[in-house]
Structure 1
């Protein structure tokens, strides 16, 4: 029996084959193992990441269960369940491999269950990069011989480079006359 509302629209979360309603908790239960496996597959390629949108499409496509709920309202729940599963299996923090379209991990990652004991510190993006390296060291088939290095996503690296280039270079000035000091550090006017 198809659970279609009065407008003829599909329910919020539904089975693609017959359009029947699927309770969200059941959909989540189907999506978690798929997402877990997709994140492991991502970790097999050194410095690879997957976006929230890509992961959401993969789990919905492979499970045959789709949702019309906004991505921002459910992807966090999915990743939290994957993080709990990875932690229970003693795996590295796989959810560090899932990023926004702009290449950032976002502040929510600081609250993710971790399989390692650490704290996010000041830079959540670098924190996630360190966790991604743990994943690559566990699963990557193309890991460099030196064990690799934590790396920000390409998009985040470009963003930081642009931001650094836009920062004005502060030159030292003479405390007496406010003239920019030469390379010697001694004011040509005040001595």
Structure 2
């Protein structure tokens, strides 16, 4: 049933308080992420996760995913950190396979180098999740792995990136197309 309310109970369309919806969604999202971690190198998307929590809880929202999924994942991150679990929210990625910059600010039960690229950090944290929950780890224990989309994007960027221009070894200026430094002539 379609409701006039922003967040509502699917059964009758009655208004649901967003805080109550989050309280219902968090344990479901936590369980989905634990199940996701059960398979080495598996991730889930924000859309997949938000669809499942709404379906299983019977509470839906008309809000855009980007306006509430971060709040959901933050609460799941707090729950995981308080239980000394690995950072389960590292398993939830955007449609393009990226984790998103907000991940670096999420509560975590493990320390990390603040200078680490957020995608690399998430890959390290996903490995912790797989090592805890997956039953299909490689014999060597696995390795931090970027999503296939991020690997592809990095590969594409590396192939199409501009080649560095030649620099004059004396004046440390970029050389013109002729290859002769104007200052050295």
> What TM-score does the superposition give when structure 2 sets the normalisation length?
0.88
Q: Which ranges of structure 2 fall in alignment gaps of 5 or more residues? A: 180-185
- Relative to structure 1, the CA distance from residue 173 to residue 113 in structure 2 (aligned partners, 3 Å threshold; closer, same or farther) is closer
Q: Between Structure 1 and Structure 2, how many residues are aligned?
A: 176
Instruction: Give the alignment partner of residue 140 of structure 2, picking from 132, 137, 146.
Output: 146
1:162 corresponds in structure 2 to: 156
1:119 corresponds in structure 2 to: 113
1:130 corresponds in structure 2 to: 124
Q: Which ranges of structure 1 fall in alignment gaps of 5 or more residues? A: 1-7, 181-191
| Residues 43 and 91, structure 2, Cα contact 8 Å, conserved in 1 | yes
| Aligned-pair Cα RMSD in Å | 2.3
Instruction: Give the alignment partner of residue 105 of structure 1, picking from 81, 99, 102.
Output: 99
> What TM-score does the superposition give when structure 1 sets the normalisation length?
0.85
Q: Once the 2 structures are TM-superposed, how far is the Cα of residue 122 of structure 1 from its aligned partner?
A: 3.8
Q: Once the 2 structures are TM-superposed, how far is the Cα of residue 41 of structure 1 from its aligned partner?
A: 0.4
| Residues 112 and 121, structure 2, Cα contact 8 Å, conserved in 1 | no
- Relative to structure 1, the CA distance from residue 116 to residue 174 in structure 2 (aligned partners, 3 Å threshold; closer, same or farther) is closer
- Bigger radius of gyration, 1 or 2? 1
| Residues 3 and 14, structure 2, Cα contact 8 Å, conserved in 1 | no
| Residues 44 and 140, structure 1, Cα contact 8 Å, conserved in 2 | yes
2:14 corresponds in structure 1 to: 20
